Structure 1
Amino acid sequence: MLSGFKKFLLRGNVLELAVAVIIGTAFNAIVQSLVKDVFAPLLAAIGGQPHFEKLVLKVGSGEIKYGVFLNAVFSFLIVAAVIYFFVITPYEKLTARFSSPEETTLRECPECLSEIPKAAVRCSHCTAQVAPLTEPTSETH
């Protein structure tokens, strides 16, 4: 029983998940600091008030603290923008630069325009006979 638990803990998925959680937590601290210490003061300089906690709607004897909700919405939007513009966009550009175009193994059937394998001699959709595609050979002289 203990060996099964040891095997589970040493499995690659568990270790990768643990590393991802730790990195994610550290990254969250960076993003939260960026929002709180950089973007909130910029919003305060532009709009005059970076925090909306004091915005309250009195209903009878209760209070609806919609300012706290507004803070959460603005924080979410800022975090989403930071993630998109400073993580996702550069990552996509970097992977596009280093990735090679994938070679497709499919082609269109000339009869029904369904996708079929390049080497097919008969369409699996309409059963029409199709000429097999020959791969271009690179001959060296």
Structure 2
Amino acid sequence: MFKEFKEFIARGNVIDMAIGLVMGSAFTAIVNAVVDNILMPIISGLTAGVNYEDIVLTIGGSTLKIGLVINAIISFLIISLFMFFVVKAINAMRRDKDEVEKAPTTKTCPYCHSEIPVDAIRCPHCTSKLEGYANPLE
């Protein structure tokens, strides 16, 4: 049983997941710092310092802290928007590298002007034998 557990832990998926969790928690600190120290003060300035934490509803002797839920929802939306912009920026940088020009996979038949595979020796549309391409079967 210990051997099976050791094999399970040594698998790449478990190690990748552990690294992802560590990186995620480290990134959480950065996101929280940006939200708490940059975005939330701006929002507080725009909303004239309204503090939702003070909103409380008392029903039958129980206190429902509605304001904390509202703050959590607002924080979630701000963090989600921030993450959206971060991922979009990362994808834009990655897209520039991925847009390296690839070799063409098709060409145009000089006779019928149809699009055909680049390694074709005869056009499948007009059956013309393409010049300059040797038939390996002949």
**C-alpha RMSD over aligned residues:** 2.9
Q: Is 2:95 the counterpart of 1:96?
A: yes
Shift of 1:28: 1.0
AA at the equivalent of 1:10? A
Shift of 1:90: 1.1
Question: Unmatched 5+ residue regions in structure 2?
Answer: 106-114, 121-131, 134-138
Normalising by structure 1, what TM-score? Answer: 0.65
The residue that corresponds to 1:130 in the other structure is none
Cα gap change, 1:84 to 1:40, in 2 (>3 Å): same
The residue that corresponds to 2:110 in the other structure is none
Percent identical: 28
Q: Is 2:31 the counterpart of 1:34?
A: no
Question: After superposition, what is the alpha-carbon deviation per residue over 1:25-54, rounded to whole angstroms, capped at 9, x for unaligned?
Answer: 111111112211221111122212264111
Asked which structure has the greater CA Rg, the reply is 2
**2: CA distance, partners of 1:11 / 1:59:** 52
The residue that corresponds to 2:119 in the other structure is 137
What number of residue pairs does the alignment pair up? Answer: 111
AA at the equivalent of 1:67? G
**1: CA distance, partners of 2:59 / 2:41:** 31
Question: Unmatched 5+ residue regions in structure 1?
Answer: 106-132
Normalising by structure 2, what TM-score? Answer: 0.67
The residue that corresponds to 1:20 in the other structure is 20
Question: After superposition, what is the alpha-carbon deviation per residue over 1:53-108, rounded to whole angstroms, capped at 9, x for unaligned?
Answer: 1112334533332111110110000100110012x1012212322225899x9xxx
